[in-house]
């Protein structure tokens, strides 16, 4: 079942499907190589096609997990993931990850992906969305705040990037 959320200026936001697995791996690898704001270093992602298909299958028929992709001119340009807790006490909270190809920064792709996650959360009884972001990533911070995320804390020296420790903000929003 294809769940199309938003379409504007040839940008389509939809749920990730099995048929997208290979292109999704490549999208992640490309984003990893274009920015230091993601968790993985270039070439550190070793996900195989079988593993990616298994991950996609694990998200199906779960009301507290989703992966959206952004597609522009038939090319994958971004993604957002919300992964809810496994237990009764935390299943209404979902951790969010978002990535957008550098060539699409500032074009509304990230906002569209986050709005898709927020609408999905409302429709699936998710009460809290949370994420981490590097404290020096002003573009992402501005986007997250505009959507409704607030800084709840600071994770000091949580990442080691290019020989330097960097901090992250812990952000969340109630839906």
- The structural domains of the chain, with segments of one domain joined by +, span 4-174
pTM above the 0.85 mark?
yes
> Left (φ > 0), alpha (ψ -120 to 50) or beta: where does 144 sit?
alpha
Average predicted confidence (pLDDT) for the chain: 93
- Distance (Å, rounded) from C-alpha 94 to C-alpha 18? 22
**Residue 139 scores a pLDDT above 90:** yes
- Determine how β-strand 65-72 pairs with β-strand 128-134: unpaired
Choose between 2 and 139: higher pLDDT: 139
Distances 157 to 38, 47, 165 between C-alpha atoms, Å: 15, 27, 5
Residue 78, Cα to own-chain centre: how many angstroms?
A: 8
Section 116-143 average pLDDT:
97
Q: Does domain 4-174 have CATH number 3.40.50.300?
A: no
**Residue 132 scores a pLDDT above 80:** yes
62 pLDDT band, cuts 50/70/90, is confident
Express each pLDDT in 22-54 by its tens digit.
Answer: 999 999 999 999 999 999 998 899 999 999 999
């Amino acid at each position: 079942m294809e769940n199309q959320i938003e379409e504007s200026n040839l940008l389509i936001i939809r749920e990730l499907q099995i048929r997208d697995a290979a292109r999704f791996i490549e999208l992640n690898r490309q984003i990893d190589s274009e920015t230091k704001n993601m968790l993985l270093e270039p070439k550190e992602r070793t996900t195989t096609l079988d593993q990616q298909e298994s991950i996609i299958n694990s998200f199906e028929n779960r009301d507290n997990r989703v992966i959206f992709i952004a597609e522009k001119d038939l090319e994958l340009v971004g993604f957002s993931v919300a992964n809810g807790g496994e237990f009764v006490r935390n299943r209404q909270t979902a951790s969010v990850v978002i990535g957008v190809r550098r060539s699409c920064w500032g074009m509304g792709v990230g906002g569209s992906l986050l709005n898709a996650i927020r609408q999905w959360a409302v429709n699936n009884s998710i009460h809290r969305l949370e994420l981490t972001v590097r404290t020096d990533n002003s573009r992402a911070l501005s986007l997250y705040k505009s959507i409704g995320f607030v800084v709840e804390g600071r994770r000091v020296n949580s990442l080691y990037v290019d020989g330097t420790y960097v901090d992250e903000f812990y952000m969340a929003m109630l839906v």
